[in-house]
């Protein structure tokens, strides 16, 4: 009635009574499913048809003909209405494919033309949460805390929150906890409660705790959050109830609170009830269960155009934190790499030996008093490295000329005859020679457990490459950089 009035469509409600009595000024007549099969209403329909005044009969929420036990008793009589010479339009936003087949067979709709669009509500974020506590009192507090936190996010007076509870006692308990009105079928003055809730400027009625009575047909545009506490009659009724949110096309959320174990299947479960439990335990994407149930389609995540469900949101947060950690690590690695490059350049342009031994400088490596002693070992060490490098080093782990990581060597090469060439050919061999001849002074003998009488430097060479460059380094060579920085 309210929607019809907003669009200036003359509308009336059929209340029964005298045969053939109806509003002649009304273009739209609303009638309950119970009244549509009454003798008076059938007579009224026949008179409209005879006068040529009946355009069509629209059955809204037609899935209830199958899902609601209240409609089962009148189903066979409703089939008789379908024999009238009139056009019938069946409307619903939640008709699973399996129900579509059953609806055709039950109502004998052989010539039914189906116009079907995807039923996914992209403006709803579907979420589930297991209670972290065990007592029922604590469960109430968890829901209350969540609702109060969400209420602070509401922007306008017209934004509302709707909570569904399974029993009258739980409805009253939840209403007392939040200090908000409640609604259920046997409540006295329930019409006034509902009207207050539908008022856009009501502060007291921004939250309403209700039974499943409002899952169907409640048409308020600005419900921002729908909460289910503990249970729902079926998965279809849960989707209907969640669909009360975001009817203005703006973002809304659906949250289902349940106790641990409720997601496990029961032998007595119907297919619908089993689907609800499947939804609760779904860990990839909540919409995956909904899309499969309603549209017989298969997805693995919420699309970019849809509000993310709790599963997809958790995955996005994990991905974002991982990326952030990788970026931080990369920045740290890059800093180390730059420091290492600067150290290599510094060592290459001064006396390597005295730099490592922390002795006064003022000369180059070639002029160092230690060079004669150490240079004796350079040639055999260089030859041994050349012979053993393929065995000790992974391909592309370092420059096979200077044995520095490729990312380091490539940045400090010099141009010779128009070609970039490595100019640190003696750097590593000199460092190894110094390590070998001065291992006690450098304090590395104990660290690397070098034997006191090895056969020359061959026992030290694998240790050096294992500790400094590592055998299975990748091209980045960053682990080797870290170890070499320690030693340098």
What's the pLDDT at 66?
Answer: 81
What's the pLDDT at 20?
Answer: 47
Smallest CA-to-CA distance from 227 within 345, 342, 339, 127 is with 127
Q: How far is 219 from 203, CA to CA, in rounded Å?
A: 19
Q: Identify whether residues 409 and 325 lie together within a single domain.
A: no
Residue 73 belongs to a domain: yes
Work out the pLDDT band at 337, boundaries 50, 70, 90: low
Smallest CA-to-CA distance from 254 within 303, 197, 310, 293 is with 310
Type and span of the H or E element at 183 = strand 182-183
Three-class SS state of 419: strand
Strand 414-416 with 419-421, pairing: antiparallel
Lowest average pLDDT, out of 118-127, 369-378, 443-452, goes to 443-452
Rg (CA), the chain: 39
Give Cβ neighbours of residue 419 (< 8 Å, ≥ 6 apart).
none
Average pLDDT over residues 243-268: 92
Q: How far is 37 from 78, CA to CA, in rounded Å?
A: 6
Smallest CA-to-CA distance from 479 within 391, 385, 388, 397 is with 397
Q: Identify whether residues 78 and 150 lie together within a single domain.
A: no
Q: Identify whether residues 332 and 280 lie together within a single domain.
A: no
Torsion angle in degrees (nearest 10) through CA of 54, 60, 62, 65: -80
Q: What's the chain's length in residues?
A: 488
Q: Identify whether residues 422 and 449 lie together within a single domain.
A: yes
What's the pLDDT at 439?
Answer: 60
Three-class SS state of 53: coil
Work out the pLDDT band at 478, boundaries 50, 70, 90: very low
CB-side neighbour CA atoms (13 Å) of 187: 20
Average pLDDT over residues 392-420: 65
Beta strands in 78-178 (DSSP E): 88-90, 124-130, 160-164
> 312 with 329: CB under 8 angstroms?
no
Average pLDDT over residues 419-435: 64
What's the pLDDT at 364?
Answer: 78
What's the pLDDT at 474?
Answer: 41
Q: How far is 213 from 347, CA to CA, in rounded Å?
A: 81
Residue after which a domain boundary falls, among 81, 107, 133: 107
pLDDT tens digits along 69-93: 666 677 777 888 888 899 999 998 8
159 vs 19 pLDDT, higher one: 159
Q: How far is 473 from 275, CA to CA, in rounded Å?
A: 50
pLDDT tens digits along 273-327: 899 999 999 999 999 999 999 988 999 999 999 999 999 999 988 888 888 888 8
Residue 115 belongs to a domain: no
Q: Give whole-number Cα distances, 12 to 21, 47, 58, 59, 346, in Å.
A: 12, 17, 15, 16, 93
CATH at 40: 3.40.50.300
Enter the pTM of the model. Answer: 0.65
Q: Identify whether residues 281 and 324 lie together within a single domain.
A: no
Q: How far is 444 from 241, CA to CA, in rounded Å?
A: 72
Residue after which a domain boundary falls, among 286, 308, 330: 308
Work out the pLDDT band at 35, boundaries 50, 70, 90: confident
Which residues in 199-238 are b (16+ Cβ under 10 Å) and which e?
eeeeeebbbbbbbbbbbbebebebbbbbbbbbbbbbbbbb
Residue 85 belongs to a domain: yes
Work out the pLDDT band at 120, boundaries 50, 70, 90: confident
Q: How far is 294 from 279, CA to CA, in rounded Å?
A: 13
**Helix 427-437, helix 371-392: angle, nearest 10:** 110
Q: How far is 176 from 56, CA to CA, in rounded Å?
A: 46
> Would you say residue 472 has pLDDT above 50?
no
pLDDT tens digits along 128-161: 999 999 999 999 999 999 999 999 988 888 899 9
166 vs 339 pLDDT, higher one: 166
Name the average pLDDT for the chain.
Answer: 79
Residue 237 belongs to a domain: yes
Q: Identify whether residues 336 and 247 lie together within a single domain.
A: no
Whole domain around residue 344: which residue ranges?
312-349
Residue after which a domain boundary falls, among 277, 308, 339: 308
Q: How many domains does the chain have?
A: 4
Q: How far is 426 from 424, CA to CA, in rounded Å?
A: 6
- Percent of the chain scored above 90 by pLDDT? 31
Which residues in 78-97 are b (16+ Cβ under 10 Å) and which e?
beebeeeeeeeebebebbbe
Residue 191 belongs to a domain: yes
Give Cβ neighbours of residue 237 (< 8 Å, ≥ 6 apart).
67, 212, 215, 216
Q: How far is 96 from 119, CA to CA, in rounded Å?
A: 9
Residue 280 belongs to a domain: yes
Q: Identify whether residues 164 and 72 lie together within a single domain.
A: no
Residue 41 belongs to a domain: yes
Q: How far is 390 from 467, CA to CA, in rounded Å?
A: 17
Q: Identify whether residues 398 and 326 lie together within a single domain.
A: no
Q: How far is 54 from 50, CA to CA, in rounded Å?
A: 9
Residue 287 belongs to a domain: yes
What's the pLDDT at 7?
Answer: 77
Backbone φ and ψ for 319, nearest 5 degrees, come out as -65, -45
pLDDT tens digits along 95-111: 888 888 888 888 888 88
Q: In this structure, which long-range contacts are made by residues 485-488, counting pairs with CB atoms below 8 Å and at least 24 apart in sequence? A: 485/336, 485/339, 485/340, 485/343, 487/444, 488/343, 488/347, 488/356
Average pLDDT over residues 64-68: 79
Q: Identify whether residues 183 and 284 lie together within a single domain.
A: yes
Q: Identify whether residues 81 and 129 lie together within a single domain.
A: no
454 vs 383 pLDDT, higher one: 383
Q: Identify whether residues 261 and 339 lie together within a single domain.
A: no
Q: Identify whether residues 148 and 133 lie together within a single domain.
A: yes
> Would you say residue 389 has pLDDT above 50?
yes
What's the pLDDT at 430?
Answer: 66
């Amino acid at each position: 009635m309210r929607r019809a009035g907003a669009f200036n469509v003359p509308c009336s409600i059929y209340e029964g009574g005298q045969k053939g009595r109806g509003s002649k000024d009304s273009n739209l007549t609303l009638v309950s499913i119970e009244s549509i099969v009454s003798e008076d209403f059938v007579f009224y329909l026949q008179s409209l048809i005879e006068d040529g005044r009946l355009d069509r009969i629209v059955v809204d929420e037609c899935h209830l003909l199958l899902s609601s036990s209240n409609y089962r008793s009148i189903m066979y009589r409703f089939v008789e209405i379908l024999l009238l010479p009139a056009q019938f339009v069946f409307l619903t936003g939640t008709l699973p494919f399996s129900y579509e087949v059953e609806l055709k067979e039950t109502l004998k709709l052989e010539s039914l033309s189906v116009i079907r669009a995807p039923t996914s509500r992209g403006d709803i974020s579907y979420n589930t949460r297991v209670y972290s506590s065990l007592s029922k009192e604590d469960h109430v507090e968890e829901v209350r805390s969540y609702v109060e936190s969400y209420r602070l996010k509401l922007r306008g007076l017209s934004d509302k929150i709707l909570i569904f509870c399974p029993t009258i006692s739980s409805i009253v308990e939840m209403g007392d906890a939040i200090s908000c009105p409640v609604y259920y079928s046997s409540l006295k003055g329930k019409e006034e409660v509902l009207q207050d809730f539908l008022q856009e400027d009501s502060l007291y009625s921004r939250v309403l705790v209700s039974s499943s009575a409002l899952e169907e047909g409640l048409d308020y545009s600005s419900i921002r959050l729908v909460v289910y506490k503990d249970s729902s009659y079926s998965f279809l009724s849960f989707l209907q109830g969640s669909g009360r949110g975001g009817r203005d096309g703006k973002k809304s959320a659906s949250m289902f609170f349940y106790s641990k174990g409720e997601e496990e299947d029961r032998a007595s479960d119907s297919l619908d009830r089993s689907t609800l439990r499947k939804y609760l335990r779904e860990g990839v994407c909540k919409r995956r269960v909904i899309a499969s149930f309603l549209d017989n389609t298969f997805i693995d995540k919420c699309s970019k155009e849809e509000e993310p469900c709790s599963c997809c949101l958790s995955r996005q947060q994990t991905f974002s934190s991982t990326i952030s950690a990788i970026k931080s690590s990369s920045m740290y690695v890059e800093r180390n790499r730059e420091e290492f490059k600067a150290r290599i350049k510094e060592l290459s342009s001064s006396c390597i030996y005295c730099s490592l031994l922390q002795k006064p400088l003022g000369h180059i490596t070639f002029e160092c008093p230690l060079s004669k002693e150490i240079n004796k070992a350079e040639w055999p060490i260089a030859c041994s490295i050349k012979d053993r490098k393929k065995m000790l080093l992974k391909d592309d782990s370092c420059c096979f000329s200077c044995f520095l990581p490729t990312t380091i060597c490539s940045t400090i090469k010099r141009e010779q005859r128009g070609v970039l060439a490595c100019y640190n050919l003696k750097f590593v061999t000199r460092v190894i020679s110094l390590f070998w001849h001065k291992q006690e002074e450098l304090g590395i003998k104990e660290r690397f457990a070098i034997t006191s009488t090895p056969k020359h430097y061959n026992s030290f060479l694998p240790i050096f490459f294992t500790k400094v460059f590592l055998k299975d380094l990748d091209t980045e060579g960053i682990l080797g950089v870290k170890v070499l920085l320690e030693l340098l």
